[in-house]
């Protein structure tokens, strides 16, 4: 497969993961107790949507029509990585896992020389969100352990 086709396939994979991550953040917002957390999760979902639009624009720049892009198909990757532990994970932990997948894809995209899009902003945003989520997960688990 040519570098061009590999790049397109990776952008399409990114679109699927961005869509799924946006949904995870909206679910986390639904479960949020405080207004600050609800606002944070909603903002992160909207940022994932903006990154989705940027990636979609990159595909269109490469000559792909939006009709050619399949992003609504069943996500077999997500099914394969799902386990009982993942199903039991909190909404924040699911956001962390989804963001880690996004970072992995963005890292792979960085190696392509044909890219015209700057991935530093999405990478930085995702890393910052992950730090905040890790902090909240740590606090949540500490409270949970004290209650036991």
| CA distance to 83, 116, 138, per residue, from 35 (Å) | 31, 37, 19
Identify the pLDDT of residue 74.
Answer: 45
Identify the pLDDT of residue 140.
Answer: 80
Instruction: Evaluate whether 24 touches 98 at the Cβ level (below 8 Å).
Output: yes
CATH number at residue 34: 1.20.1260.10
Q: How far apart are the first and last CA of the chain?
A: 53
Q: In angstroms, rounded to a whole number, what is the distance separating the alpha carbons of residues 99 and 109?
A: 15
- pTM reported for the whole predicted model: 0.83
Taking residue 134's Cβ as centre, other Cβ atoms within 10 Å add up to 13
pLDDT in tens, 32-46: 989 999 999 999 999
Write out the residue range of the structural domain in which residue 143 sits.
3-147
Number of structural domains the chain divides into: 1
Regions of the chain where pLDDT drops below 50: 72-74, 76-85
Identify the pLDDT of residue 99.
Answer: 96
Identify the pLDDT of residue 64.
Answer: 82
Continuous segment of H or E residues that includes residue 119: none
Q: How many Cα atoms within 13 Å fall on the side-chain side of residue 59?
A: 24
Identify the pLDDT of residue 116.
Answer: 80
């Amino acid at each position: 497969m040519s570098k061009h086709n590999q790049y397109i396939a990776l952008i399409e994979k990114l679109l699927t993961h961005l869509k799924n991550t946006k949904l995870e953040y909206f679910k986390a917002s639904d479960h949020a107790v405080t207004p600050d957390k609800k606002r944070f999760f909603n903002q992160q979902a909207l940022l994932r949507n903006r990154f989705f639009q940027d990636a979609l624009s990159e595909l269109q720049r490469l000559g792909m029509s939006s009709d050619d892009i399949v992003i609504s198909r069943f996500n077999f990757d997500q099914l394969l990585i799902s386990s009982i532990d993942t199903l039991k994970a909190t909404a924040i932990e699911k956001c962390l896992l989804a963001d880690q997948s996004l970072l992995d894809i963005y890292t792979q995209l960085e190696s392509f020389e044909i890219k015209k899009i700057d991935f530093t902003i999405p990478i930085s945003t995702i890393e910052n969100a992950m730090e905040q989520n890790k902090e909240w997960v740590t606090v949540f688990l500490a409270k949970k352990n004290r209650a036991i």
